[in-house]
């Protein structure tokens, strides 16, 4: 088991869509699929309380930021191939990538495309992880 790469995370989040959210581009519908600042009562919620994406995966938008295996570089998507980029190495990265946003974020931050980073040694209550299978 391992952390997903950033590309794997986004692929799973989008579930075949090309819009801001797995369900389309209308942020007004976020309450159906995401825990965010407008509906989470300022706390992490149990997994599965919102509608899953088209592939049956819950909580890809909001609830908690999810750690990815990749190191963050601001220009990753201009330096790397568009399909399955490798991400920065530890010597270039500013921290590990986090995706998905959390319960205290607005619509932009819980979108399929928003990227964030933190030092891997930092612990915050709004971050968690999802595991991927394989090497």
Tokens representing 23 are 């369900």
pLDDT < 70 regions, the chain: 76-93
**What is the spatial distance between Cα 17 and Cα 45, in angstroms, rounded to a whole number?**
25
57-70 tens-digit pLDDT:
999 999 999 999 98
Tell which residue, 59, 108, 21, has the closest CA to residue 116.
108
Query: How many other CB atoms are there within 10 angstroms of residue 72's CB atom?
Result: 20
| Burial of 101: CB neighbours in 10 Å, binned 0-12, 13-18, 19+ | buried
Residue 4 and residue 12: Cα distance in Å, rounded?
10
């Amino acid at each position: 088991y391992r952390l997903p790469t950033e590309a794997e995370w986004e692929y799973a989040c989008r579930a075949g869509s090309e819009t801001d959210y797995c369900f389309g581009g209308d942020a007004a519908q976020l309450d159906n699929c995401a825990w965010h600042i407008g509906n989470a009562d300022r706390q992490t919620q149990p997994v599965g309380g919102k509608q899953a994406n088209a592939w049956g995966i819950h909580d890809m938008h909001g609830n908690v930021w999810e750690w990815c295996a990749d190191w963050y570089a601001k220009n990753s998507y201009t330096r790397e191939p568009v399909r399955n980029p490798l991400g920065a190495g530890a010597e270039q990265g500013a921290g590990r990538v986090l995706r998905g946003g959390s319960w205290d974020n607005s619509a932009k931050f819980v979108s399929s495309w928003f990227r964030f980073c933190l030092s891997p040694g930092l612990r915050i209550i709004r971050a968690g992880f999802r595991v991927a299978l394989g090497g």
